[in-house]
């Protein structure tokens, strides 16, 4: 199976969806992974679900370029947020032809988080969307085991886990544990490299995750072993690096990311 890549919004966060699709088309990505909700209070978001004009432009551009939407993020459900808050995002994802929704559960009440995750899956299923649970190490769902417990308890056919190579490393997850999980839970992965040393503070973990990821092969993560433990899936290149974006610009950085990933991961396509 030939490798397939998606340009993740966090890699070029200040780009509009229109600019992202154009960049993805020019630099050889198969997909884009669009962020329609803000994660931080200062983050600018391009909420297509609330912008019919931009939605129409994006849909026309997808048709013209052949670029597809892999996933939409982010359905993040801390204690104060119910899954119904993302109804419009799910509808927008379906309208764009997306395949997956990325979710996070930063909620200390595991029973409540699991019930909400199951409800989100139920909302997404009639729209032919899967829900992939991401587990940043600093959240209350901090590792592969915790994510697997949620997905197993939810018991929904469109539920799964999204392995991010950074979070897998920072959570000190086990390759054997990853190999033991149902293959159908894994529909795409997020790929980057990073410094080998794991920060010892939450602030340090978040800084790397949002501002200092590296092109595959340029850091200290064992990316190949992680991806070898997964089925053949598309790879969303989520590689935010403020210094590189400022130096190169969005398009040159996106091109460097995919060219580096192809060089480093090319043997996985055999």
What percentage of the chain has pLDDT greater than the value 70?
98
* CATH class entry, domain 5-267: alpha beta
For residue 214, give the DSSP letter.
Answer: B
When pLDDT is averaged across residues 213-231 and rounded to a whole number, the result is: 97
Q: What percent of the chain has pLDDT over 90?
A: 95
CA–CA separation, 176 vs 155, rounded Å?
Answer: 22
Inter-residue contact 66 to 25 (CB < 8 Å): yes
Contacts of 105 (CB under 8 A, 6+ apart): 77, 113, 116, 117, 133, 139, 140, 141, 150
Residue 267 has pLDDT above 70, yes or no: no
3-state percent helix, strand, coil for the chain, nearest multiple of 5? 50, 15, 35
Is the pLDDT at 233 greater than 50? The verdict is yes
Q: For position 129, what pLDDT does the model report? A: 98
In angstroms, rounded to a whole number, what is the distance separating the alpha carbons of residues 171 and 205?
10
What is the pLDDT at residue 269? 45
* Predicted confidence (pLDDT) at residue 270 exceeds the cutoff of 80: no
Q: At 191, phi and psi to the nearest 5? A: -125, 135
Average pLDDT, the chain: 96
When pLDDT is cut at 50, 70 and 90, the band that residue 1 belongs to is low
Rounded CA separation 29/6 (Å): 6
């Amino acid at each position: 199976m030939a490798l397939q890549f998606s340009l993740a919004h966090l890699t070029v966060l200040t780009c509009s969806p229109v600019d992202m699709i154009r960049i993805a088309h020019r630099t050889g990505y198969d997909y884009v992974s669009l962020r329609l909700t803000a994660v931080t209070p200062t983050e600018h978001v391009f909420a297509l679900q609330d912008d019919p004009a931009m939605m129409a432009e994006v849909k026309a551009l997808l048709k013209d370029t052949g670029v597809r939407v892999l996933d939409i993020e982010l359905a993040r459900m801390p204690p104060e947020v119910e899954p119904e808050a993302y109804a419009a995002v799910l509808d927008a994802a379906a309208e764009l032809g997306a395949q997956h929704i990325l979710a996070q559960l930063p909620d200390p009440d595991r029973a409540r988080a699991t019930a909400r995750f199951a409800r989100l899956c139920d909302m997404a299923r009639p729209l032919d969307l899967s829900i992939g649970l991401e587990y940043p190490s600093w959240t209350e769902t901090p590792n592969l085991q915790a994510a697997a417990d949620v997905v197993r308890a939810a018991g929904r056919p469109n539920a799964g886990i999204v392995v991010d190579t950074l979070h897998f490393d920072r959570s000190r997850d086990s390759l054997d544990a990853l190999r033991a999980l149902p293959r159908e839970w894994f529909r795409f992965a997020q790929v980057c490299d990073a410094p080998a040393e794991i920060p010892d503070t939450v602030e340090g973990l978040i800084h790397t995750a949002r501002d200092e990821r590296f092109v595959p092969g340029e850091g200290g993560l064992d990316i190949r072993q992680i991806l070898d433990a997964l089925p053949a899936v598309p790879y969303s290149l989520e590689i935010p690096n403020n210094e590189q974006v400022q130096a190169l610009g969005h398009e040159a950085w996106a091109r460097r990311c995919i060219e580096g990933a192809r060089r480093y991961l090319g043997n996985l396509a055999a």
